[in-house]
Amino acid sequence: MTHSGPPRTHTGAWVLVTILLLVAVLGTLIVPIYARSSPKLGSFPFFYWYQLLWVPVTALLTTICYLITTRVARPAPDGGGGAAAAPPLGGQPLGGQPLGGQGEAS
């Protein structure tokens, strides 16, 4: 079965996301990089502080990947995505009443 949708665009963005996620995963999976005790950071051997350093680094890389993928997946501004656009802030809810009030001011 073939997919008849439009060809995938933004290939460069997906390659960048893949590389960033691989860096985050492989930084801790390749043990010979950090299987030693020196240099020490205070009383922490390299083995421990290297792994602890990867916690915020991985969180940052994952956040960057999330932002890239949400921007790539966002529909075009001309409404070509097919989904209904959300009303602007300060718009009226489904009941027709303005937000934050009992009705129109006199």
Give the tens place of pLDDT for each residue, 37-93.
889 888 989 999 999 999 999 999 999 999 999 988 776 666 555 445 555 555 555
Residue 49 belongs to some domain of the structure: yes
Give CA–CA dist 61/105, Å, rounded: 49
Dump strand ranges (E) for the chain.
none
* Number of separate domains in the chain: 1
Of these ranges, 9-18, 31-40, 50-59, the one predicted with the greatest mean pLDDT is 50-59
* Domain of 46, in residue numbers: 31-75
Q: What's residue 20's pLDDT? A: 95
Residue 62 belongs to some domain of the structure: yes
Residue 1 belongs to some domain of the structure: no
The verdict on pTM exceeding 0.85 is no
The residues near 97 (Cβ < 8 Å, ≥ 6 apart) are 103
Q: What's residue 59's pLDDT? A: 96
Residue 104 belongs to some domain of the structure: no
Residue 95 belongs to some domain of the structure: no
Kindly tell me if the per-residue pLDDT of 14 is higher than 60. Answer: yes
List the one residue out of 36, 56, 62, 33 whose CA is nearest residue 47. Answer: 36
